[in-house]
């Protein structure tokens, strides 16, 4: 990947010598590097086995969040849209800092402010990704339609293809999808969502300012975002208190939260296997008994 890093640095117009390159943590999907030239520090990540629009989707999401002037994001300098077999690369500003006592509170408040940026429909209009799986993001006129067709039905089809849905699980999921209108609101506020907000997708920058990273953006129900933050932990009570001070949650949030968490559990089931099956079944049985 060294040649690709050098190619990206040249494409940025940075003609100075590369002084330091070392691999850093960048998730399970990509190779990630700290790169320092005589002029600047960069965060550059790459992948040999992703579709051509993989990093475009991430870059467009970061751009959209940046334009809200709410939550901070790293500045994007460059991304590839490679041909098949070529490495895809993404270059951003290097962000470094550490958590401060106020980091969680600021993140909660800024996320709520970001959720106040609206669209008139649901979705995004550009395919994004959940992990390395393509995530359809067509515009839909109702949230119910979007969540049912672009999220749950999509994971149903993937699960069937991968053999992750034994008959009872399949039948329960199909029944739930058919009756989703009983619980899921048709037209909540279509808010800008990060779309993949777990504890590893924000970092602390200078002075502890939180930065959102690795988005999979869409316009949808803010409760969908909040439900995922509660699924695997990583967010303190200060985060939720600050969020609710800016944007109180609806009274039925506790009831619909498991249905929103179901999508992300299905994603993990389809990506990582049966260890997530019991959690999927528990939610399905709760709503189909």
Active site residues per annotation: 196
In the chain, the N- to C-terminal Cα span, in Å, equals: 52
CA gyration radius, the chain: 20
Count of C-beta atoms within a 10 Å radius of residue 168: 12
Angstrom CA distances, 9 to 78, 160, 200, 274, stand at 9, 43, 27, 42
Report how far residue 282's alpha carbon sits from residue 289's, in angstroms, rounded to the nearest whole number: 11
Number of alpha helices (DSSP H) and beta strands (DSSP E) in the chain: 10, 11
Sign (positive or negative) of CA dihedral 51, 61, 214, 198: negative
Place of tokens 């249905």: 259
Q: Which residues, listed in sequence order, are joined to residue 91 by a DSSP beta bridge? A: 44, 78
Q: What angle do CA 260, 264, 269 make, to 5 degrees?
A: 135
**Which stretches does DSSP call E strand in the chain?**
18-24, 31-37, 41-47, 76-79, 88-93, 128-130, 133-135, 191-193, 202-204, 210-212, 218-220
Report how far residue 25's alpha carbon sits from residue 5's, in angstroms, rounded to the nearest whole number: 16
Report how far residue 65's alpha carbon sits from residue 59's, in angstroms, rounded to the nearest whole number: 10
């Amino acid at each position: 990947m060294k040649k690709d890093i050098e190619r990206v640095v040249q494409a940025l117009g940075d003609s100075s010598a590369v002084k330091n390159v070392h691999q850093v943590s960048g998730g399970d999907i990509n190779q990630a590097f700290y790169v320092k030239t005589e002029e600047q520090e960069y965060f550059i990540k790459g992948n040999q086995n992703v579709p051509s629009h993989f990093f475009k989707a991430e870059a467009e999401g970061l751009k959209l969040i940046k334009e809200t002037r709410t939550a901070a994001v790293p500045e994007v300098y460059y991304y590839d849209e490679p041909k098949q077999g070529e490495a895809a690369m993404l270059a951003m500003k290097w962000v470094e800092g550490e958590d401060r006592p106020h980091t969680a509170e600021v993140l909660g408040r800024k996320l709520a402010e970001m959720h106040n940026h609206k669209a008139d429909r649901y979705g995004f209009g550009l395919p994004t990704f959940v992990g390395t799986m393509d995530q359809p993001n067509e515009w839909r006129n109702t949230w119910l339609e979007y969540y049912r067709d672009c999220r749950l039905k999509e994971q149903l089809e993937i699960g069937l293809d991968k053999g992750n849905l034994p008959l009872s699980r399949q039948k329960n999921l199909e029944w739930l999808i058919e009756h989703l209108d009983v619980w899921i609101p048709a037209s909540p506020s279509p808010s800008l969502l990060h779309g993949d907000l777990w504890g590893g997708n924000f970092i602390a920058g200078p002075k502890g300012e939180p930065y959102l990273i690795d988005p999979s953006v869409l316009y949808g129900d803010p409760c969908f975002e909040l439900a995922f933050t509660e699924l695997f932990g990583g967010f303190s009570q200060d985060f939720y208190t600050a969020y609710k001070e800016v944007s109180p949650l609806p009274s039925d949030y506790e009831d619909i939260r498991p249905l929103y968490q179901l999508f992300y559990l299905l994603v993990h089931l389809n990506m990582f296997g049966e260890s997530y099956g019991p959690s999927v079944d528990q939610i399905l049985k709760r709503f189909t008994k």
